[in-house]
């Protein structure tokens, strides 16, 4: 799963997140979704466009004037009558009265101790309070509240309900509606007198009321919600419901339909608590309320006094009277501002999660963390903005938290897997680096040993010619790498003849060093076996070195045989630079040419020819490889031949080979300025001191000869 930079894991995790997002009722997501919807309402509460409902509140002031609750039902009858005088469209009585009025005249004798029998009989003959309230109910368009019960523990049975007229569009709504086993209702006398009955029950989610049922079932009887029933009684139109294959889609009165959830409940877009919705019951009874305030209004009567009312938590406040929640539902029905959560919102949420998630799967493993974080934040911000825009403009409830949390979880998972894979790669790379370092150390050790062997195979003047004063030699070799392909050699053929040579193999590094060692050994072996005729020696060496040359390398060689008694030098040049002659004072600087031919191993059986030169006592030959003239500085400039000749021309006439060689080395090093050499450097400087040796040359220079 970590392979492919974590993308297989990301795809699998995204599928899991999508399934969790679209799964109904998954634990935890419902609460987060509701919290998001509440946040919408806090940020953008509804602004009422109309005021169809007025609440007549039995508040603390009314209780102070008319006594504690419950009031005598004759007082309620008088309250309803005063409301009815103002000409309301309908009255919703949000009060349950399941028992007979204990303050009714026929029951007062039971409450007052010491009442004589005659008084009790006179009280019993008076009209009951329930009858007075029932009379008021029959004369007015009043809707009584009923409450749904989960079990049939009351005497109220569903058969006592009158099912209102219903226009149905589509399927039967019964299988989808919220179902109650029984109801809690007012006594029969009052229940039967009302024009309608509306359900006041709600199902708080997490202790917060967000939805109210527009339609529900009590056993098998259809029951409208309290607000919808008030609107039906006011309009005189039948209830309407549209049902699809997956549940209730809309419900309302007549042609006015509001969107619902599949169970027939409607989302309320709340506005904050508004005291302007309320008038006091005591003021209505006193006649101090302007009748126009109640005229043609939907008047809801409810108890709002603290300690008596059913205050509920809503998205916009901790405490709101239940009767005001019903008023907000009526405002939403009138204004068309009820909220909706269509089925397609779930697929839009899943699409947003899938789209941003796929972008993260592609982007996170291949980009720096800061860019991945920026993409994640942008994706979350877009989803939050889209959700709020749909709520504000269209009243659509799109859940932003589900996709956003899924995106954050996916990003975290991808980041963890990517970092884990990177850590694994880092560990593997560290192990590989350790193995490479070990291998490099072994190779470096082997190369160092090879360097010591190669450098140890080169002769030293003191070791090659002990006690020899007729010839002075300086030699130097510096490989560009640990080992190199340049070579020099000098050795005796006999007591008077000396062989010396310098060469440059076409390769560098280890291959060049191997070929250098082979070439040097074969050349010396050929010279010792075949004698001192230099042209014949060059031809034999060419054949010997070419024999096992699988890599097709070649080597340039300048070789000479010097007779130390006479100073006669026989030499042959196989493709190498001609040496410089440093003669006695006043004779200048020139090159020793002639005796040429191609490099060894370049042309088979080439007829090399030799040349002869008679050296003067004190004459010096300077031989180099091209690593000297091709040295580069930091600007990429070549050292060149003219700089070398300037150094040689500027030397003292009596400079010995050591001074000549060290002057060349110092000049090249100063020019390069610390830049690593690109080619091997070899220097071989030979001076013939004359047949009598170094002392004679010194004496001649001292005497000026």
More confident residue, 318 or 567: 567
* Domain match, 276 and 421 both: no
* Domain match, 229 and 297 both: yes
What is the per-residue pLDDT for 596?
81
Cα–Cα distance between 94 and 299 in angstroms, integer? 10
Q: Is residue 90 part of a domain?
A: yes
What is the per-residue pLDDT for 155?
47
Average pLDDT of every residue of the chain: 86
What is the band of 524 on the pLDDT scale with cuts at 50, 70, 90?
confident
* Residue 548: both structure tokens together: 């096992």
Cα–Cα distance between 683 and 462 in angstroms, integer? 17
What is the band of 108 on the pLDDT scale with cuts at 50, 70, 90?
low
Q: Is residue 247 part of a domain?
A: no
Arithmetic mean of pLDDT, 383-395: 94
> Is pLDDT at 198 greater than 50 in this prediction?
yes
* Residue 659: both structure tokens together: 């001074």
Lowest-pLDDT range of 12-26, 256-270, 400-414, 491-505: 12-26
Lowest-pLDDT range of 9-23, 192-206, 391-405: 9-23
What is the per-residue pLDDT for 704?
35
Which helix (H) or strand (E) element contains residue 184? strand 182-184
Arithmetic mean of pLDDT, 580-585: 79
What is the per-residue pLDDT for 120?
62
* Domain match, 331 and 345 both: no
What is the band of 302 on the pLDDT scale with cuts at 50, 70, 90?
very high
> Is pLDDT at 702 greater than 50 in this prediction?
no
DSSP assignment, residue 356? H
Q: How many Cβ atoms sit within 10 Å of the Cβ of residue 636?
A: 7
Over residues 589-615, the pLDDT tens digits come to 889 998 888 998 888 889 999 999 999
Domain that holds residue 347: 1-38+340-457
| CATH label of the domain that carries residue 668 | 3.60.40.10
What is the band of 701 on the pLDDT scale with cuts at 50, 70, 90?
very low
Over residues 243-292, the pLDDT tens digits come to 999 999 999 999 889 999 999 999 999 999 999 999 999 999 999 999 99
Q: Is residue 391 part of a domain?
A: yes
- Would the CA dihedral through 502, 507, 510, 514 be positive or negative? negative
> Is pLDDT at 698 greater than 50 in this prediction?
no
What is the band of 700 on the pLDDT scale with cuts at 50, 70, 90?
very low
Lowest-pLDDT range of 471-480, 481-490, 693-702: 693-702
What is the per-residue pLDDT for 112?
66
* Domain match, 90 and 140 both: yes
Arithmetic mean of pLDDT, 344-361: 92
Q: Is residue 246 part of a domain?
A: no
What is the per-residue pLDDT for 52?
94
What is the band of 580 on the pLDDT scale with cuts at 50, 70, 90?
very high
* Domain match, 508 and 651 both: yes
Cα–Cα distance between 589 and 591 in angstroms, integer? 7
Q: Is residue 250 part of a domain?
A: no
Arithmetic mean of pLDDT, 638-662: 90
Q: Give the residue ranges of DSSP H helices in 458-533.
A: 461-464, 509-530
Cα–Cα distance between 487 and 503 in angstroms, integer? 5
> Is pLDDT at 318 greater than 80 in this prediction?
no
Last residue of a domain, one of 392, 423, 457: 457
Question: What does the H/E/C string look like for 10-43?
Answer: HHHHHHHHHHHHHCCCCCCHHHHHHHHHHHHHHH
Q: Is residue 297 part of a domain?
A: yes
DSSP assignment, residue 50? -
What is the per-residue pLDDT for 145?
95
Arithmetic mean of pLDDT, 141-167: 75
pTM attached to this predicted model? 0.65
Last residue of a domain, one of 431, 457, 483: 457
> Is pLDDT at 699 greater than 50 in this prediction?
no
Q: Is residue 252 part of a domain?
A: no
* Domain match, 64 and 29 both: no
What is the band of 219 on the pLDDT scale with cuts at 50, 70, 90?
confident
Of these ranges, 538-542, 543-547, 614-618, the one predicted with the greatest mean pLDDT is 614-618
What is the per-residue pLDDT for 446?
72
* Domain match, 359 and 474 both: no
Backbone angles phi, psi at 688, to 5 degrees: -95, 120
* Domain match, 282 and 387 both: no
* Domain match, 15 and 91 both: no
What is the band of 153 on the pLDDT scale with cuts at 50, 70, 90?
low
* Domain match, 82 and 145 both: yes
Last residue of a domain, one of 435, 457, 479: 457
Arithmetic mean of pLDDT, 628-651: 91
* Domain match, 428 and 526 both: no
Looking at the chain, the whole-number percentage of residues with pLDDT higher than 90 is 51
What is the band of 122 on the pLDDT scale with cuts at 50, 70, 90?
low
Number of domains in the chain: 3
* Domain match, 476 and 559 both: yes
Token pair 């004190």 is found at 618
What is the band of 585 on the pLDDT scale with cuts at 50, 70, 90?
low
Paired residues of 253 in beta bridges? 239, 256
Q: Is residue 294 part of a domain?
A: yes
């Amino acid at each position: 799963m970590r392979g492919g930079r974590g993308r297989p894991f990301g795809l699998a995790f995204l599928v899991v997140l999508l399934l969790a997002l679209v799964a109904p009722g998954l634990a935890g997501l419902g609460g987060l979704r509701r919290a998001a919807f509440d946040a919408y309402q806090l940020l953008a509460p509804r602004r009422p466009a109309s005021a169809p409902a007025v609440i007549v509140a039995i508040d603390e002031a009314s209780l102070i004037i008319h006594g504690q609750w419950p009031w005598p039902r004759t007082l309620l009858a008088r309250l309803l009558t005063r409301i009815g005088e103002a000409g309301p469209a309908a009255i919703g009585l949000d009060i349950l009265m399941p028992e007979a009025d204990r303050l009714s005249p026929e029951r007062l004798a039971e409450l007052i101790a010491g009442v004589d029998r005659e008084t009790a009989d006179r009280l019993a003959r008076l009209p009951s309070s329930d009858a007075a309230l029932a009379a008021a109910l029959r004369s007015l368009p009043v809707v009584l509240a009923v409450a749904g019960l989960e079990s049939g523990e009351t005497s109220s049975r569903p058969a006592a309900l009158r099912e209102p007229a219903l226009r149905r569009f589509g399927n039967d709504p019964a299988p989808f509606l919220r179902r109650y086993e029984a109801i809690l209702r007012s006594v029969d006398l009052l229940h039967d007198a009302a024009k309608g009955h509306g359900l006041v029950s709600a199902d708080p989610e997490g202790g917060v009321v967000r939805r109210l049922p527009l339609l529900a079932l009590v056993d098998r009887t259809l029951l409208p919600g309290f607000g919808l029933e008030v609107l039906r009684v006011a309009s005189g139109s039948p209830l309407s419901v549209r049902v699809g294959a997956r549940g209730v889609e809309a419900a309302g009165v007549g042609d006015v339909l509001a969107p619902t959830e599949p169970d027939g409940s409607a989302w309320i877009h709340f506005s904050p608590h508004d005291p302007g919705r309320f008038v006091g019951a005591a003021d209505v009874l006193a006649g101090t309320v302007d009748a126009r305030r109640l005229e043609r209004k939907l008047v809801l009567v409810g108890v709002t006094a603290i300690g008596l009312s059913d205050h509920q938590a809503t998205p916009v406040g901790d405490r709101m009277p239940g009767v005001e929640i019903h008023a907000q539902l009526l405002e939403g029905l009138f204004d068309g501002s009820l909220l909706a959560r269509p089925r397609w919102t779930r697929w839009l949420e899943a699409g947003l999660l899938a789209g941003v998630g796929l972008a993260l799967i592609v982007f996170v493993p291949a980009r720096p963390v800061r860019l991945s974080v920026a993409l994640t934040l942008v994706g979350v911000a877009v989803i939050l903005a889209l959700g709020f825009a749909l709520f504000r403009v269209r009243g659509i409830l799109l859940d932003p938290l589900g996709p956003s949390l899924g995106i954050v979880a996916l990003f975290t998972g991808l980041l963890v897997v990517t970092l884990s894979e990177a850590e694994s790669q880092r560990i593997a790379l560290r192990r590989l680096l350790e193995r490479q370092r070990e291998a490099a150390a072994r190779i470096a050790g082997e190369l160092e040993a090879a360097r010591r062997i190669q450098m140890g195979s080169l002769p030293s003047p003191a070791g090659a010619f002990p006690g020899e004063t007729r010839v002075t030699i300086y030699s130097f070799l510096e490989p560009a790498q640990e080992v190199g392909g340049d070579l020099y050699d000098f050795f005796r053929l006999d007591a008077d003849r000396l062989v010396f040579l310098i060469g440059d193999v076409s390769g560098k590094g280890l291959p060049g060093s191997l070929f250098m060692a082979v070439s040097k050994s074969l050349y010396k072996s050929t010279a010792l076996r075949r004698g001192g005729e230099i042209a014949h020696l060059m031809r034999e060496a060419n054949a010997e070195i070419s024999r096992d040359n699988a890599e097709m390398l070649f080597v340039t060689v300048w070789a000479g045989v010097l007779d130390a008694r006479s100073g006669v030098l026989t030499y042959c040049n196989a493709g190498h630079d001609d040496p410089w002659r440093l003669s006695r004072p006043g004779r200048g600087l020139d090159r020793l040419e002639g005796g040429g031919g191609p490099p060894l191993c370049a042309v088979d059986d080439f007829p090399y020819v030799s040349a002869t030169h008679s050296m003067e006592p004190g004459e010096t030959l300077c031989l180099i490889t091209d690593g000297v003239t091709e040295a580069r500085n930091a600007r990429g400039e070549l050292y060149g031949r003219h700089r070398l000749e300037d150094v040689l021309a500027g030397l003292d006439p009596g400079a010995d080979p050591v001074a000549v060689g060290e002057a060349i080395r110092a000049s090249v090093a100063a020019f390069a300025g610390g830049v690593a050499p690109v080619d091997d450097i070899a220097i071989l400087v030979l001076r013939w001191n004359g047949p009598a040796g170094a002392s004679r040359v010194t004496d001649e220079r001292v005497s000026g000869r």
